């Protein structure tokens, strides 16, 4: 363990920084008795010093100081049908299947999108950053394009922006912007600053309106790249990484894994071909899984 770890640092914080998950996830792991320090099963609230050995499920956790890691963030264009879980017992595709491999770390999803929702999903190797980006207290905007089926009038829109009592408390959209079009299916862009389970869908359903399509198009100031195919990912530049870090009161990064040299046309073309090939391979696998499930 690095000498630079503060002696009274919380165990869940150290594990999150090691890329094992968010702080909240690590609290559950500790509470389940899966973590030990110097051979003794840990309890929630324990702190660790610089020379102690941490094990998770019996495996030694490689710890590095916060300043030793280069914080990385990926933008991923999630297709409908993918699960926001690492592994699925039924073999269904997950959002982690195509991400680039990390040496000694793992990607952590910043929040979740349900299986029928597509669009912008962020991943990072920094558990503390992921944890803070998910907290409603930092009020980071999430914008969705939503297609609804049902009668929507001015009164409905006013109710949705004033507040609705859901099963888990009051919720509302900060803003609803109608998009051009007519007919029973209408598109709107909606804005909120929290990510409760199926919150967008539940808000509309509370007014007797069904959601037929839901796409996350923006997270904070980061807009989904329209050229990024579904199932494709791209790593964010240092300026974007530091935008998110500043948004949640974390110190700025000074390094990036991205090349500082302009990408050549041939390199860009080869990269796009790899993305398309990966997407096509994944789509084939998804169709096969769906076919097998129908048998």
Evaluate whether residue 235 is within a structural domain.
yes
Write the burial class of residue 210 (CB in 10 Å: 0-12 exposed, 13-18 middle, 19+ buried).
Answer: exposed
Confidence band of 8 (pLDDT split at 50, 70, 90): confident
**Which one has a higher pLDDT value, 114 or 22?**
114
Claim to verify: residue 239 and residue 129 sit in the same structural domain: yes
Claim to verify: residue 115 and residue 238 sit in the same structural domain: yes
- pLDDT above 90: percentage of residues in the chain: 56
CATH number of 13's domain: 3.10.290.10
Confidence band of 148 (pLDDT split at 50, 70, 90): very high
Claim to verify: residue 230 and residue 200 sit in the same structural domain: no
Evaluate whether residue 1 is within a structural domain.
no
Evaluate whether residue 93 is within a structural domain.
yes
Q: What is residue 199's predicted lDDT score, i.e. its pLDDT?
A: 94
Confidence band of 93 (pLDDT split at 50, 70, 90): very high
Tell me which H or E stretch contains 272.
helix 265-294
CATH number of 99's domain: 3.30.2350.10
Claim to verify: residue 108 and residue 228 sit in the same structural domain: yes
Q: What is the mean pLDDT of the chain?
A: 85
Claim to verify: residue 131 and residue 242 sit in the same structural domain: yes
Query: Of the candidates 219, 242, 258, which is a domain's last residue?
Result: 219
Instruction: Write down the pTM of the prediction.
Output: 0.76
Q: How far is CA 220 from CA 84, 165, 187, in A?
A: 20, 25, 21
Claim to verify: residue 129 and residue 160 sit in the same structural domain: no
Claim to verify: residue 252 and residue 289 sit in the same structural domain: yes
Claim to verify: residue 148 and residue 124 sit in the same structural domain: no
Claim to verify: residue 177 and residue 238 sit in the same structural domain: no
Expressed as residue numbers, the domain containing 61 is: 9-68
Evaluate whether residue 113 is within a structural domain.
yes
Answer yes or no: is pLDDT of 5 > 60: no
- 10 Å Cβ neighbour count for 1? 18
Instruction: Choose the catalytic residue: 88, 114, 168, 210.
Output: 114
Whether 126 is catalytic is no
Evaluate whether residue 2 is within a structural domain.
no
Answer yes or no: is pLDDT of 6 > 60: no
Q: Which of 32-46, 184-198, 280-294 has the lowest mean pLDDT?
A: 280-294
Answer yes or no: is pLDDT of 101 > 70: yes
Query: Of the candidates 163, 187, 219, which is a domain's last residue?
Result: 219
Contact 214, 200 (CB under 8 A): yes
Number of compact structural domains in the chain: 3
- Name residue, tokens 């500790």: 30
Query: Of the candidates 180, 201, 219, which is a domain's last residue?
Result: 219
Q: How far is CA 114 from CA 85, 146, 196, in A?
A: 10, 14, 11
Q: What is residue 184's predicted lDDT score, i.e. its pLDDT?
A: 75
Evaluate whether residue 106 is within a structural domain.
yes
Of 72, 57, 66, the C-alpha closest to 18 is 66
Q: What is residue 4's predicted lDDT score, i.e. its pLDDT?
A: 41
Residue 109 makes CB contacts below 8 A (sequence gap 6+) with: 84, 95, 96, 121, 122, 123, 130
Claim to verify: residue 103 and residue 232 sit in the same structural domain: yes
Evaluate whether residue 192 is within a structural domain.
yes
Specify whether the backbone of 117 is left (phi greater than 0), alpha (psi in -120 to 50) or beta. beta
Claim to verify: residue 150 and residue 177 sit in the same structural domain: yes
Q: What is residue 266's predicted lDDT score, i.e. its pLDDT?
A: 55
Evaluate whether residue 114 is within a structural domain.
yes
Claim to verify: residue 158 and residue 94 sit in the same structural domain: no
């Amino acid at each position: 363990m690095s000498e630079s770890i503060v002696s009274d640092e919380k165990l869940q914080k150290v594990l999150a920084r090691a890329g094992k998950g968010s702080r909240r996830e690590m609290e559950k792991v500790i509470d389940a008795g899966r973590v030990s320090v110097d051979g003794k099963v840990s309890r929630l609230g324990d702190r660790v010093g610089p020379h102690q050995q941490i094990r998770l499920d019996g495996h030694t956790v490689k710890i590095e100081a916060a300043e030793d890691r280069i914080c990385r963030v990926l933008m991923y264009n999630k297709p409908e049908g993918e699960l926001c879980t690492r592994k699925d017992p039924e073999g269904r595709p997950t959002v982690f299947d195509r991400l680039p491999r990390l040496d000694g770390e793992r990607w952590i999803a910043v929040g979740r999108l349900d299986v029928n929702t597509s669009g912008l999903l962020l991943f990072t190797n920094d558990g503390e950053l992921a944890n803070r980006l998910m907290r409603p207290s930092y009020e980071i905007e999430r914008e969705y394009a939503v297609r609804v089926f049902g009668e929507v009038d001015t009164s409905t829109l006013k109710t949705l922006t004033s507040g609705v009592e859901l099963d888990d408390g009051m919720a509302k959209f900060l803003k609803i912007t109608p998009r051009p079009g007519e007919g029973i299916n209408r598109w709107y862009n909606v804005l909120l600053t929290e990510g409760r389970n199926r919150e967008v869908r539940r808000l509309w359903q509370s007014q007797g309106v069904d959601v037929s399509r839901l796409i996350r198009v923006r997270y904070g100031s980061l807009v989904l790249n329209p050229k990024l195919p579904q199932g494709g990912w791209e790593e964010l530049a240092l300026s974007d990484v530091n935008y998110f870090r500043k948004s949640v009161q974390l110190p700025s990064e000074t390094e990036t894994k991205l090349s500082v040299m302009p990408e050549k046309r041939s390199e860009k073309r080869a990269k796009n071909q790899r993305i398309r090939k990966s997407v096509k391979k994944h789509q084939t696998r998804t169709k096969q899984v769906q076919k097998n499930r129908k048998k």
